Structure 1
Amino acid sequence: MSTSRHIVALLQSHIAGDEDRFLSVATQLAAHEARQGHGKLAQELRELIDSAKGKRATVARRGAGPVPIAQPKGEIAGFLAARYSDVRLSSMVLTPDLEARLTRVLREQRQQERLRAHGLAPRRKLLLVGPPGSGKTMTAAALAGELKLPLFTVLYDGLIGKMMGETAARLRLIFDAIAVQRGVYLFDEFDALGAQRAGPNDVGEIRRVLNSFLQFLEDDDGPSLIVAATNHPELLDKALFRRFDDVIPYALPGPEVARGILDAHLAAFEPVNIDWPSVLEAAAGLSQAELARAADEAAKAAVLGEHDGVTTTALLSALAERKAAAL
Structure 2
Amino acid sequence: MATARQIIALLSSHNQGDEEQFLSIALQVAAAEARRGRLEVANELKMLVDTARKVRTPLKGVTSRVSGQVAIPISKPRGDLENLLSVTYPKTQIQDLILNEPKRDRLNRLIHQQRQRDKLRSHGLFPSSRLLLVGPPGSGKTLTASVLAGELQLPLFTIRLEAVITRFMGETASKLRLIFDQIASVRAIYLFDEFDAIGGRRNADNDVGEMRRVLNSFLQFLEESNSTDSLVVATTNHPELLDRALFRRFDDILEYSLPDADGIKAVLNRYLHAYIPKRSSWVKVIEAGSGLSQAELSRAASEVVKEMILGSVKQASVETIVSALKERHALRNAMSGLTPA
Task: Write the deviation string for residues 227-276 of structure 1: whole angstroms up to 9, x where unpaired.
Answer: 11111111011111111111111111122222111011113435474211
1:163 equivalent in alignment to 2:168: yes
Residue of structure 2 equivalent to 1:134: 139
Native 8 Å contact 1:150 1:184 kept in 2: yes
Native 8 Å contact 2:27 2:185 kept in 1: no
Distance 1:73 1:54, change over 3 A: closer
Equivalent-residue separation in structure 2 for 1:219 and 1:52 (angstroms): 25
Equivalent-residue separation in structure 1 for 2:241 and 2:323 (angstroms): 36
Counterpart selection for 2:290 from 284, 289, 292 = 284
The Cα shift of 1:142 comes to: 1.1
Give the 5 Å matches for 1:111-130.
111-130=116-135
Residue of structure 2 equivalent to 1:147: 152
Residue of structure 1 equivalent to 2:312: 306
Q: Which amino acid in the other structure matches residue 260 of structure 2?
A: G
The Cα shift of 1:14 comes to: 5.3
The Cα shift of 1:40 comes to: 4.9
Residue of structure 2 equivalent to 1:87: 92
Equivalent-residue separation in structure 1 for 2:268 and 2:176 (angstroms): 40
Equivalent-residue separation in structure 1 for 2:242 and 2:102 (angstroms): 24
Native 8 Å contact 2:28 2:181 kept in 1: no
Over aligned residue pairs, what C-alpha RMSD do you find?
3.0
1:225 equivalent in alignment to 2:231: yes
> Alignment partner of 2:234: what SS?
strand
> Alignment partner of 2:172: what SS?
helix
Equivalent-residue separation in structure 1 for 2:275 and 2:294 (angstroms): 19
Native 8 Å contact 2:149 2:189 kept in 1: yes
Equivalent-residue separation in structure 1 for 2:46 and 2:172 (angstroms): 34
Residue of structure 1 equivalent to 2:195: 190
Q: Which amino acid in the other structure matches residue 295 of structure 1?
A: A
Q: Which amino acid in the other structure matches residue 258 of structure 2?
A: L
Q: Which amino acid in the other structure matches residue 312 of structure 1?
A: V
Give the 5 Å matches for 1:1-327.
3-4=2-3, 33=33, 36-38=36-38, 40-41=40-41, 44-45=44-45, 48=48, 64=69, 68-223=73-228, 224-271=230-277, 273-327=279-333
Distance 1:116 1:30, change over 3 A: farther
Structure 2, unmatched stretches of 5+, are 57-63, 334-341
The Cα shift of 1:301 comes to: 2.8
- TM (norm. structure 2) is 0.84
> Alignment partner of 1:269: what SS?
coil
The Cα shift of 1:315 comes to: 0.7
The Cα shift of 1:322 comes to: 1.4
The Cα shift of 1:43 comes to: 5.7
Equivalent-residue separation in structure 2 for 1:320 and 1:31 (angstroms): 53
The Cα shift of 1:145 comes to: 1.2
The Cα shift of 1:171 comes to: 1.4
Equivalent-residue separation in structure 2 for 1:33 and 1:74 (angstroms): 23
Number of corresponding residues: 326
Equivalent-residue separation in structure 2 for 1:36 and 1:79 (angstroms): 26
Equivalent-residue separation in structure 1 for 2:190 and 2:160 (angstroms): 11
**Which deviates more, 193-202 or 8-17?**
8-17
The Cα shift of 1:153 comes to: 0.8
Native 8 Å contact 1:24 1:182 kept in 2: no
Structure 1, unmatched stretches of 5+, are none
Q: Which amino acid in the other structure matches residue 91 of structure 1?
A: D
**Which deviates more, 161-170 or 111-120?**
161-170
Native 8 Å contact 1:273 1:312 kept in 2: no
Native 8 Å contact 1:21 1:180 kept in 2: no
Native 8 Å contact 2:135 2:238 kept in 1: yes
Native 8 Å contact 1:282 1:319 kept in 2: yes
Q: Which amino acid in the other structure matches residue 154 of structure 1?
A: I
Equivalent-residue separation in structure 1 for 2:203 and 2:267 (angstroms): 40
Q: Which amino acid in the other structure matches residue 275 of structure 2?
A: F
Q: Which amino acid in the other structure matches residue 118 of structure 1?
A: H
Distance 1:114 1:96, change over 3 A: same
Q: Which amino acid in the other structure matches residue 105 of structure 1?
A: L
Write 1 or 2 for the structure with the bigger share of helix. Answer: 1
